[in-house]
Amino acid sequence: MKEPLIGKTLSELELLCEREGFAKYVSRQLASWLYDKRVQDIDGMSNISKAAREILKEKYCVGIIAPEQVITSVDGTKKYAFPTDSAPLLENGRHRLIEAVMIPDEDRATLCVSSQVGCKMGCKFCMTGRQHFHGNLTAAEILSQFLSIDESAVLTNAVFMGMGEPLDNWPEVSKAIEILTADWGFGWSPKRITLSTIGVLPNLKQFLDNTKCHLAISIHNPFPAERLELMPVQKKYDITEVVALLKQYDFSGQRRVSFEYTMFSGVNDTKRHADGLVHLLRGLECRVNLIRFHKIPDSPLETSPDEIIELFRARLNAAGLLTTVRASRGEDILAACGMLAGKNLEN
Ligand code: SF4
């Protein structure tokens, strides 16, 4: 199988050029063709010599993977499913699918990208968690989600909020972020990127120290023992330690941290939980996003009614915690994390 060129950082492209006997400046030409001009095949790299292109074509490919399925919601949200080589084939001989969701919104187009095939974290409310873990996506597969979709040229923002826990695949995710934000890469401001995590502590520190991207923490319950019921990761990485780490960083300027809080009826939506959240997050410049729960099959969890969500929001805001309720998008196309790939497995 040929090696994809996308997903390589400038220093990796320099190594490639050295290995293949190309001049060093070819690495910048390659980066420009891959990430700026978004070429589809090596023959399109017209300012690279024909001899060099022939050598490249023998061992490498651009590496853009076309979507296998595209579903468009009535609200314009589009869900893409891609085959991946980073996981063993299914019993029926087909590739497992990973997903990306494009969410248009007035002057924005945000891509929600996947970082793993399935996930090992096992959160009780998540369809991806149900599929278990089958592999880490490569940086090439992560970037291909950006480069292969119809809206590639008009994307303004990205959230690492699709399938998988991005900080559990930090080597590849950090490469993708480097390529997205480098001047030789996509040239995006880090403010256009948000990484969402359940709080994998050692890599969270790496992310905070080495990038300037925004952060979203999936919290869902302020009380460790209760959070553990929903999220097994709590046993290894305690949310109180995650918040203590965040309090060592400055979020009063350009960089933002938010907390994702899915509202489960009778589980985490009481006054006690609102007070607990206020207490835990006191002293941290942050905001809270309340999320209605998309019901998943064979789970007793239900979303909280709208009036309870509104009450919860009002309580947090009254206590000085900036809180919004996130609008649901693409419900008709199963846009919640892992829903489409899960559906494909069932089929
Ligand atoms: Fe994994 Fe995120 Fe789903 Fe938890 S919510 S199982 S971390 S994909």
pLDDT at 274 over 90: yes
Q: Which residues are catalytic?
A: 99, 337
The hierarchical CATH code for the domain 3-61 is 1.10.150.530
The residues spanned by each domain of the chain are 3-61, 69-333
CB-ligand 1 contact for 13 (6 Å cutoff):
no
What's residue 344's pLDDT?
A: 45
Q: Could you give the angle at the alpha carbon of 328 between the alpha carbons of 302 and 233, nearest 5°?
A: 55
CA distance 192 to 213: 7
Extract long-range pairs of 92-96: CB within 8 Å, 24+ residues apart.
95/68, 96/134, 96/341
161: three-class secondary structure by DSSP = coil
What's residue 63's pLDDT?
A: 97
The DSSP element (H or E) to which 258 belongs, if any, is strand 257-263
Q: Report pLDDT digits (tens) over 307-327.
A: 999 999 999 999 999 999 987
CATH topology of domain 69-333: TIM Barrel (3.20.20)
Mean pLDDT, the chain, as a whole number? 94
What's residue 336's pLDDT?
A: 55
Q: Is the entire prediction scored with pTM above 0.85?
A: yes
CB-ligand 1 contact for 291 (6 Å cutoff):
no
The one-letter code for the residue type at 168 is D
CB-ligand 1 contact for 128 (6 Å cutoff):
yes
Ligand 1 mean position, distance from CA 218 (Å): 9
DSSP string spanning 311-326?
A: HHHHHHHHTT-EEEEE
Identify whether the C-beta of residue 201 lies closer than 8 Å to the C-beta of residue 126.
no
Q: Is 124 exposed, middle or buried (0-12, 13-18, 19+ CB in 10 A)?
A: middle
Tell me the mean pLDDT in the region 28-33: 98
CB-ligand 1 contact for 165 (6 Å cutoff):
yes
What's residue 326's pLDDT?
A: 85
The DSSP element (H or E) to which 261 belongs, if any, is strand 257-263
For residue 224, what are the contacts with CB-CB under 8 A and spacing of at least 6? Answer: 234, 238, 239, 240
Nearest CA to ligand 1 atom 7: 165
Look at phi and psi of residue 172 and say left if phi exceeds 0, alpha if psi is from -120 to 50, else beta: alpha
CA distance 277 to 286: 12
Nearest CA to ligand 1 atom 6: 129
Task: Compute CA distances 2 → 23, 61, 118, 185, whole Å.
Answer: 22, 6, 25, 22
CA distance 126 to 205: 25
Q: Report pLDDT digits (tens) over 88-97.
A: 999 999 999 9
pLDDT at 248 over 80: yes
**Token output for 187:** 């040239």
Q: Which of 133, 227, 291, 337 to mutate to test the pocket of ligand 1 (most atoms within 8 A of CB)?
A: 337
